[in-house]
Structure 1
C-alpha cells in the first residue's frame, strides 16, 4: 500500500455554490462535464453531510470495493439512503465480513449457472404469455412492459407452483408495497434521510405493504415445509428443507422480498433502455433481425448479450456507488477519516476514453469478443458485495428479448435518443421508453 502523503484537504474541492453540478456527474455524458477540470479526485462537503471524496481513479475503485475491513457499503446506505427502512438491517446488503460471506453462501446457489439454466423455460413462458397483451403498430411504453415481464418472471422463478388464490394475494400485496415505494410520500421521506443523519421517517403505507407481502410468503413457506419434496426448480424450493435452510420463516420471507424488489424495477428500466437503444440504432436492429430470420440462435444470443452489456454501460440504472470509511484509513496515499464517504461515479468510468474507445457511441460489437472488466464496468458493483443477481439479470434480459424478437420487430425511431427522466434517483427513460412493436 502506498505511503500516506496527503489528506482530503490537500485535494481539489468543489465549492458548495457549485454542488448543483454534481448531478451531471451521474447522468449520461458524465465524462464531459465541467467537473473534469477538478481531476479524477476531488472533495465535496455539503452542509449536513459527511465529507465526500469523489474518485474515478481505478486503483481507488479497486481498493474501496475489495477492502471490506476499512470501507463499508452498509454504513453508506444507512447514512444516505432509505435501505434500512425498505429492507431491514438484517438483510445481506448491510452485513459485513464473515457474516456477509456466510449469508452470501446460503443465498448464492439459486443464482449460479446450473440453477440459472433451469429458469429459462419459465422466462420464455412468461414472455409468450404477455406478448398478446401489447399493442402492435402503435407506440407503447416499454418500461411498462418491462414491469409486467419482471414481476411475472420473479413470481415464477421465486415461487413457481403457488396456488392461484395465494398468487393473486401475493401479486396484490407486491403491487401495494411497490406503489408505496414509488409514492410521492415515501420520496419525501427518503429525501429527508441524509438530512436527518440517515434516519428515514416511518411511512405507514410502506410498512403495511411489506407486512402484507411477507405474510403471504410466510404462508407459502409453511406450505412447502408441510409438504416437502417434489421436482421443483424455483428458488424457494431450493431453500426449504435443504442444507441452505438456516433462517426462520420471517427472515427468509424478508430476504425473498428483497430479491423481488432488487429484480423488479431494475429489470423493467433496463429492458426499457435496451428497447430505446435498439430503436435508435438501425444497424444493431438489423443484426438482430438477421439472426432471428436465419434461425441462428447462438448468433442471436451472442449479439443480444453484447447489446445488453453495451446498454447497461451507457445507461446503468444507478449512476454512482460508493462506500463509507468504517475507521481511519488510507486510500492509495490519501488519508480518509472514519465516517467519510467515497463516491464512485460509475458513468465517469464507463464513458471514459481511457477505458472504452469512442465511449459515448452505442457499439455492442465491443463486447462480442471482450468481456467487461470488473473495475471499469460497474453497473452491478464489484468485489465481495457485487450484486448477487447480476448473472440472473443478464440472462433474464437475454431470454426475454430473444423471445420477444422471435415474434415482434422493433421499429426504428429516427431522432435523438430518449433522455433520462430529469427528476429520478436513478437513470430512467423520460417517456418510459416509447417505441413501436411491429409483427414479424
Structure 2
C-alpha cells in the first residue's frame, strides 16, 4: 500500500521577511546559506508569485528532470522572464511533449559529436583573427574578449561563409540586437515581467533590431535555397538544414530558430571563457599543467586536462546557477504532492557545492574529471532530462578548442589572492571585474 503524499503545507516555510536570503542559494558559497536549516526541501510564497517548492534532494531533482509530462521549463521561463519575447514561443525551449521531441530530433544533428569535429577549424580561425588584437604584458578584461570570440564563432559555425553583400550586415545586425538585449531599457522590461504575471511589455528597439537580424538571415536562406550547390563543401549549421531531410521549416521559422541558437550560446560562451581564464589565473598549478602539456607537444594530454578544466569551471561557476520547472497539473514528486502552477526551484550551485557529491567541493580541482566524465545526474550545468540544453556538448568542446588555440600562443599570469567574485546583482554568474587577467607571449 503506497503512502499518502505529504503536502507543501507540511514542509518548512520561508517567511517573507527572509526572502532576500534566497539569493544566497545562487551565489558561490551557497553551501553556507542559513536556509540549509530547513533541510533539503522548503516552500516560499513571494508576494505576487506562485508558490515555490525549493529542493536539492537528489531524488526530487531526478524526478522533476525526467517528468516532462507534468512539468514545463518553457512556461516557467515565460512566467518569470522575457525569454519568450526574445526567442519566440515556437522555438524548441518552449515546446512540450511530442512537439518538443520532434523539433529536438530535427535540430540536434548539427550539435552532435560527428558534426562538432567539423567546426574545429572554424573556431581556431576565429582565435587566430582575434588574438593579435589582445594586449600582452598588461591587464585585459578577458570577458570582453570572450564576447568577441563568441560572436565570431557563432557567425562562422552557424552561417559559415556568407555572401559579401550580407556578411557585414549580418554581423552588425546581430551585434545591435545583442546590444538591445543587454540594454538598461530592456533590463527594466525584464524586471517587471515576473511582477506582471509573465506579461512582457513591448520593447520596440529590441523588436526593430530583431527584425533586421531576421531580414538578413532570410536573405541568406533564400539565396542558399536558390543555389544548387548550397551545401557543397560547407561545414556550417545552416548548410546542414537547407536542402536536407532536416529542412522542414519555412524560412521565417528557420530564421527564428537560428537566431535562437545565436542568443542561447552567445552570453553563456563568453561568460564561461571568462571564468576559465579567471580560474587559471587564480590556480597556478593548473596553468602549469597546461604549460607542460603545451611544451611537450602532447596534444592528447592537453585536451584531456582542458576538458577537465572546463568541467570543473562549469561546476564551480555555472552560468545559470539554478533552474526550475512549473507544474502543468497536480502531480507527486518523490512523495511530495505538488499542485498545478507550483514552481519547483532546483539550486544547481548548491548541489555542485555539496561535499556529499564532490569531495572538497569548494576547491578548484580539474583532476576530479580526468578519469571520469561529469555525471549527468549531479553535474547540472546544462540541466538534465529531456530538456537538457541542446548545445551542451557543443559548449564544452568549443571552450576546449578555443582555449587550446589561445594557450598555445599565450599563457596566463597568476593572480594571488581570492578568486574574482561573481557580480552581486546578476541572476547569472559572471566575473565582477570582467575576468581581469594578464596574458604573456609563449
TM-score range, shorter chain: over 0.9
Matches within 5 A, 1:213-228: 213-228=213-228
* Selected match of 1:401 from 396, 400, 403: 403
Q: CA deviation at 1:233?
A: 1.2
5 Å-filtered alignment, 1:250-269, equals 250-269=252-271
Find the counterpart in structure 1 of residue 114 from structure 2. Answer: 114
Per the TM alignment, residue 26 of structure 1 is displaced from its structure 2 partner at its CA by 0.4
1:312–1:88: structure 2 CA closer, same or farther, 3 Å change rule? same
- Between the aligned partners of 2:3 and 2:341, the Cα distance in structure 1 is 21
Aligned equivalents of 2:159 and 2:373: distance in 1?
A: 32
Query: Are residue 77 (structure 1) and residue 66 (structure 2) matched?
Result: no
Give the structure 1 partner of residue 41 of structure 2.
41
Name which of 413, 416, 436 aligns with 1:414. 416
Q: Distance in 2 between matches of 1:187 and 1:283?
A: 39
CA contact (8 A) 2:5 2:332 kept: no
- Residue of structure 2 equivalent to 1:349: 351
Q: Deviations over 1:266-295 (max 9, x none)?
A: 000000000000000000000000000100
Q: Distance in 2 between matches of 1:80 and 1:4?
A: 32
Report the alpha carbon displacement of residue 3 of structure 1 after superposing the two structures with TM: 3.6
Give the drift of 1:2. Answer: 6.4
1:270-349 equivalence runs, <5 A: 270-349=272-351
DSSP 3-state at the match of 2:13 = coil
Deviations 1:324-380 (A, max 9, x none): 000001111111000000000001101100100000000000000122111211100
Alpha-carbon distance in structure 1 between the residues aligned to 2:107 and 2:3: 39
State whether residues 4 and 335 of structure 1, in contact with CA within 8 Å, keep that contact through their aligned partners in structure 2.
Answer: no
Could you state the TM-score of these two structures normalised by the residue count of structure 1?
Answer: 0.99
Q: Distance in 2 between matches of 1:154 and 1:78?
A: 25
Q: Tell me what 2:436 maps to.
A: 434
* Aligned partner of residue 370 in structure 2, secondary structure: helix
1:19 aligns to what? 19
Please say if residues 4 and 332 of structure 1, whose CA atoms lie closer than 8 Å, have aligned partners that are also in contact: no
TM superposition outliers: structure 1 runs of 4+ over 2 Å: 1-5
Q: Is the 8 A contact 1:56 1:349 kept in 2?
A: yes
In structure 2, C-alpha distance between the alignment counterparts of 1:64 and 1:167, rounded to whole Å = 43
TM-score under structure 2 length normalisation: 0.98
Cα contact 1:319–1:426 (8 A) shared by 2: yes
Matched, 1:136 2:139: no
Unaligned stretches of 5+ in structure 2?
A: none
**Cα separation, 2, equivalents of 1:238 and 1:381:** 26
Alignment check: 8 A CA contact 2:27 2:349 kept: yes
Contact 2:329 2:339 in 1 (8 A): yes
Name the CA shift for 1:16/1:240 in 2 (closer, same or farther; >3 Å): same
**Alignment correspondent of 1:212:** 212
Secondary structure, aligned partner of 1:369:
coil
Q: What is the aligned partner in structure 2 of residue 87 from structure 1?
A: 87
Q: 1:2 to 1:147 in 2, by over 3 A?
A: farther
| Residue of structure 1 equivalent to 2:196 | 196
How many residue pairs align between the two structures?
440
1:111-151 residue CA offsets vs partner (Å, 9 max, x unmatched): 11111000001111110111100000000000111011111
Contact 1:2/1:333 (8 A) holds in 2: no
Gaps of 5+ in 1: none
> What SS does the aligned partner of 1:365 have?
helix
CA drift of 1:165 comes to: 2.9
SS at match of 2:383: coil
Task: Measure how far apart 1:425 and its partner are.
Answer: 1.9
Pair 1:3–1:100, CA change in 2 (3 A): farther
For residues 220 and 424 of structure 1, the distance between their equivalents in structure 2, rounded to whole angstroms, comes to 36
Between 237-246 and 367-376, report the one with greater CA deviation: 367-376
Residue 386 of structure 1 is matched in structure 2 by 388
Correspondence for 1:244: 246
Distance in 2 between residues matched to 1:83 and 1:129, nearest whole Å: 32
CA distance, structure 1, for counterparts of residue 4 and residue 239 of structure 2: 51
